[in-house]
Structure 1
Amino acid sequence: MTESTRELVIVGVGSAPFDALLEILEDRKTVTPGQLKLVIEDEADVDPQVFANRSVAVTPLKDFVFTPDQVVLLLTGGELATAALAQAEQAGAWVVDAAGITRGDESVALIHPLLNSAELNQSDESDRKVIAVPGAGAAMIAEALYPLKSQLQSVEVVLNQPVSALGKASVDAAAAQTARLFNGQEPDVDEGTGQRLAFNHLSSAEALLESGHSFSELALVLELRRLLGEGVALDATINTASVFHGQLANLSVQLNTEQPLDTVRGLLSNGARLEMCERPSAQDAVGSENTLLGRLRTGLVSPRQVIFCAASDNLRKDVAINCVQIVHLLLKTH
């Protein structure tokens, strides 16, 4: 089976990262229009999508046939993704879960294309052909911390995520609320969060668990632990900022031993897809294929404490590009 005869199936047309994903697939010529298949919910009504100047039909799940020659990319959660995962896996296709529906399932490998893609070549016939992609926040933070991996004792994360991290519906809700506020009208409360998204900063966009954490915070810790190692103590807080795209995290790192700040800066500067700057911002990161790092300083609590921030394009870089890189590897070598 040659790479050119295989197909990429995308489940999640119209999801938040969908447009960026199609753009990158086209720019990198990962697949041709003939290799691209798009799947939607049975009751959905979606127009054909344009890819590489060709019209690509959108097929309801009930009418779609999965085959072993496909790589199936899940961009959205819910019943559609769950059903597609089951059908694709039964058919023998590779499945890339970028929607988090297999989160916490130890039988599913968590793959970051820059950090541990070699694990794809270590699978055997008894392993599931299902791969999970880290969430955007975990992907960015793991990249930022990876050059310090051997030195990490503990990490405290404060992630300021944009409304696009909550999905396309939240982006639309924030846009509508912004328009109403600019017109002197009281905006509707967002149904998903129960709060206003426009011109607001949420301490949590979801209900809190008994521990006081949100599910997303514990999921972030779980994914970072799988990527960085069980020996690193981790805690996380996720806020939602009133911006559409671009995420920024403040990282407080406790090292095993005291290190000169210049040594830490040198390690970070040489990290894959990392770019040092004085004062990173989410706006500067949007459209970039790098994670911006800055505000590096020694903490006041301990001489082994290092504090810095990381910013990135959550949809384009940390979801779409990572997915395209994994899809390329699967189409080419598996």
Structure 2
Amino acid sequence: MTESNRELVVFGVGSAPFDALLEILEERNTVTPAQLKLVVADEAEADPQVFANRSIPVVPLSEFAFTADQVVLLLSGGEAAVAAMTKAEDAGAWVVDAAGISRGDESVALIHPLLNAAELQSVERKVVAVPGAGAAMVAEALFPLKSQLKSVEVVLIQPVSALGKASVDAAAAQTARLFNGQEPEVDEATGQRLAFNHLSSAEALLESGHSVSELALVLELRRLLGESVALDATINTASVFHGQLANLSVQLEGPAALETVRGLLTNGARLEMRERPSAQDAVGSENTLIGRLRSGLLGPAWVNFCAASDNLRKDVAINCVQIVHLLLKTH
């Protein structure tokens, strides 16, 4: 079957990155309206979606037939998404997991389209995972230094959109109540107020004191940067809707001139140097903004810098579209 006749199936209508995904698919002419199929869990309700000036119906999972000529993109998790992945793989379709469903499964390749897309040629299964938004951004920022990395400490400050569409809606409602002099309700998912707050953790903590998301971030970075790099991670949540920022404390294998490090970062794929990048600066950009590069005070092999990016458009939607394009075109 030709590329123009193959279909892209998206599961996760209404998820946080869904609108950005449709925008990128249309901007890049990745698929036509006829090729785009939208699927939701049976209990979910979703209106038809507009794509390229066409109305695309949304089909319940139980009524949808998967085929080997499809690429199936999972944007949201849960039991229905797991069922969709199983049905799609059984049908011989390619599956792109952008919801972390297959996290920890070593038989599923973790693909960042800028860093290791060539691994698509030798995958064990027709299921590939996309790194989470935080891991995607941090891996891009560190990749030019990969051969010199000894240890990295990541402090990722994520927006509420990293917690899902429901958290964005909750933060908006809480903000409106505060502006009207009313006490907002506590967010059920986090047990915290999301509006005008900064959370040390948006999740319950494990016995180690880490959250599941922090360990997942470390796992994905190891897979992208190599097992020899010592990693630790902290994830805080700030009361902004979109845009993430990470502070990176990096120990290199040996002393390196700051200008040498700056040169490597300047030449990194999709990296843009700024003096003082912010998450707001990054929203809408297709680059990761790098800045505040400075020598660390722990020793001559340490450097510190920060990275900021659009967590939904760049680190989920664009990365997914690039992988989908490769699968539709060459696989």
Give TM class, smaller chain.
Answer: over 0.9
Counterpart in the other structure of 2:132: 135
Q: How does 1:9-20 map to 2 (within 5 A)?
A: 9-20=9-20
Q: How does 1:239-278 map to 2 (within 5 A)?
A: 239-278=236-275
In 1, Cα distance between equivalents of 2:226 and 2:240? 32
> Deviation at 1:272?
0.1
- Where structure 2 has 5 or more consecutive residues not aligned to the other structure, the ranges are none
Q: How does 1:293-304 map to 2 (within 5 A)?
A: 293-304=290-301
SS of the aligned residue for 2:157 comes to strand
- CA RMSD across the alignment: 0.4
In 1, Cα distance between equivalents of 2:299 and 2:212? 30
> Deviation at 1:128?
1.1
- Where structure 1 has 5 or more consecutive residues not aligned to the other structure, the ranges are none
Instruction: Work out whether residues 273 and 291 of structure 2, in 8 Å CA contact, stay in contact via their aligned partners in 1.
Output: yes
Counterpart in the other structure of 2:87: 87
SS of the aligned residue for 2:100 comes to coil
Give the AA of the match of 1:183: N
> Deviation at 1:122?
2.1
Counterpart in the other structure of 1:24: 24
> Deviation at 1:95?
0.1
TM-score (norm 1): 0.99
Give the AA of the match of 1:234: L
SS of the aligned residue for 1:222 comes to helix
Name segments (4+ residues, structure 1) moved above 4 Å: none
The superposition leaves residues 146-205 of structure 1 with CA deviations (integer Å, 9 ceiling, x where unpaired) of: 000000000000000000000000000000000000000000000100000000000000
Counterpart in the other structure of 2:318: 321
Give the AA of the match of 2:182: Q
TM-score (norm 2): 1.00
Q: Aligned pairs, how many?
A: 331
Counterpart in the other structure of 2:69: 69
In 2, Cα distance between equivalents of 1:323 and 1:171? 21
SS of the aligned residue for 1:283 comes to helix
In 2, Cα distance between equivalents of 1:302 and 1:192? 41
Q: How does 1:130-209 map to 2 (within 5 A)?
A: 130-209=127-206
Instruction: Work out whether residues 41 and 81 of structure 2, in 8 Å CA contact, stay in contact via their aligned partners in 1.
Output: no
In 1, Cα distance between equivalents of 2:144 and 2:39? 38
In 2, Cα distance between equivalents of 1:27 and 1:248? 26
SS of the aligned residue for 1:31 comes to coil
- Which of the residues 219, 224, 249 maps onto 1:222? 219
In 1, Cα distance between equivalents of 2:101 and 2:43? 21
Give the AA of the match of 1:78: G
In 2, Cα distance between equivalents of 1:232 and 1:300? 20
SS of the aligned residue for 1:309 comes to strand
In 1, Cα distance between equivalents of 2:217 and 2:46? 32
| Percent of pairs with identical residues | 84
Give the AA of the match of 2:131: P
Give the AA of the match of 1:97: D
Give the AA of the match of 1:315: L
In 1, Cα distance between equivalents of 2:46 and 2:212? 31
